[in-house]
Amino acid sequence: MNFSATFRGNLFPLSQCTLCCDLRFQSRLEPSGGFWQKRCRRSGFKLIQNRRSCGKREIAGRVTEPQTESDSSSGEEKEAHKNGETQSFVDSSEQTSPQSVDAEQVNKFTDEINGQSESVDGIEISSGSPLPGVKQPQQLDEAIKIPKERIEILKNQVFGFDTFFVTSQDPYEGGVLFKGNLRGQAAKSYEKILKRMKDKFGDEYKLFLLINPEDDKPVAVVVPRMTLQPETTAVPEWFAAGAFGLVTVFTLLLRNVPALQSNLLSTFDNLNLLKDGLPGALVTALILGIHELGHFLVAKNCGVKLGVPYFVPSWQIGSFGAITRIRNIVSNREDLLKVAAAGPLAGFSLGLVLLFLGFIIPPSDGIGVIIDASIFHESFLAGSIAKLLLGDVLKEGTSISVNPLVLWAWAGLLINGINSIPAGELDGGRISLAIWGRKASSRFTGASIVLLGLSSLFNDVAFYWVVLIFFLQRGPIAPVSEEVTDPDDKYVALGVTVLVLGLLVCLPYPFPFTDEVLTNF
């Protein structure tokens, strides 16, 4: 946004000579590395010495605009401009313009233009929060914002050569973003800075140590805790979660009753048939419950607060799993990795055990479920286990009898697998951010949505997952307090294991089950 205006005002005494000062103000808003920053500069300062002055120096602030014939100006001024001279006035009583400003009014005028309380040459001032996924109030009370004197204390006394040497600062919203050089290990420096900040200001402010996506260098962010508002919903959390849970119970029962799936409208006339789907619904619900229990147990150990899980119903597989919000700020990427990976690891573990048992234990009625062998081509993991345990019984184009536990456990594995996709705020998305950082996580999210979109052309489950991720789980993931330090290798291995298992569950089994197919081909 370019702004130009004209004003003439009273002269400002400076020293022994008269100066004419031409001020131009320019402001522009531009994105920088994911942060919206407002760059404010003062430019075009011209100090022109008037040698006709005697005894003192004064400054006149003037920005020109097109003048009309009726514009009032003295004949002396017009004559001076014709001769190419610069005219300045020694005494303020010689001014003919009725408008007058002083130095404070000029500064106030500049601040109103720039929309900031402070603007110096070369400083980049952020007009939006660099904290992704954190809800900021639209209007901040001046009493909430960090005062300038406290920013100086933060810069000179809280941060330092031994932790984070500040080279520049960008005020934004109610806080401040410090750029500089990180000293030593990030985790230890963070703890030192945090301790000093608490000693100075208590728990009034929140400290973040993040990676600037513009140059991949560490930045420190300090914000008032009052600005970190938790998300609220119009409907009470427990009520909404309970409603979703009841619908999910219905879809889990319905999925295991094939007679009702063919005609959904007949379900309400044959509710007694839903009891036939109870065993399958219990097995799948058990895997989902273990998944959520894994999250909550590890979260409690790491000091992470989780919201009530919202189970998402699905006509195809009974449920899409649960959406569980993190209600506080996680300390570091390692804790985020532990919490995100705990659920899928628990769900995969139980699901694999039940799947193996389903292949090994014969059906209780001796018949079980008759399925086409080609169904195992839909999952690389299920197809590999079926080939390993069934051997030559598994043939292309033939029907086989299996324990229904196989299908129930497979459904639970599929739900865990889809939740392990590295996209958005899914467990896989949180895992990818914790292991590789925010920039890599955003790339994984984009690639995953594209692949799911292509898969949705052939699979309606993939289509619903694209919709779910895009509208409910797209992110961004809220920042952790210290995002610079990488997790320990053993937790990275667990996270990669979850991502690989999810991939094996969702990818098809491409190989033929028998050598006869290869021979005929």
- Per-residue H/E/C for 387-414: HHHHHHHCCCCCEEEECHHHHHHHHHHH
Q: Which domains does the chain have, with CATH numbers?
A: 142-227 (3.30.1360), 278-506 (no CATH)
Q: Work out the number of other CB atoms within 10 angstroms of the CB of residue 145.
A: 19
Element (H, E) at 104: helix 103-114
Confidence of residue 236 (pLDDT cuts 50, 70, 90): confident
Cβ atoms within 10 Å of 259's Cβ, excluding its own = 12
Q: What is the mean pLDDT of residues 65-76?
A: 42
Dig out the tokens for 504 from the structure: 């094996």
DSSP summary character for residue 190: H
- For 204-241, letters b (16+ CB in 10 Å) and e give ebbbbbbbbbeeeebbbbbbbeebbeeeeeeeeeeeeb
Task: Report which DSSP code applies to 226.
Answer: G
Alpha-carbon distance of 491 to 205, in angstroms, equals 30
Question: Is residue 401 a contact partner of residue 450, using CB atoms and an 8 Å limit?
Answer: no
- For residue 288, the tally of other CB atoms under 10 A from its CB is 28
Return all residues near 74 (Cβ < 8 A) that are at least 6 apart. Answer: 96
Higher-confidence residue of 401 and 79: namely 401
Continuous H helices in 20-66 = none
Phi and psi torsions of 60, nearest 5°: -115, 130
Whether the predicted pLDDT of 30 surpasses 60: no
Partners of 212 in beta bridges? 217
pLDDT tens per residue, range 218-235: 999 999 988 776 555 556
- Dihedrals φ, ψ of 10, to 5°? -60, 150
Q: Kindly report, residue by residue over 273-289, the tens digit of the pLDDT.
A: 778 888 889 999 999 99
Nearest to 301 by CA among 346, 348, 334, 349: 334
Output the pLDDT for position 264: 64
Residue with the two structure tokens 């590999």: 384
Mean pLDDT of 52-74: 41
Say yes or no to pLDDT of 95 above 70: no
**Tens digits of per-residue pLDDT, 286-328?**
999 999 999 999 999 999 999 999 898 887 788 888 888 898 9
Cα–Cα dist 37/366, whole Å: 69
Using the structure block, give the residue that is written with the tokens 């018949």.
367
CA–CA distance, 160 with 189 (Å, rounded to integer): 10
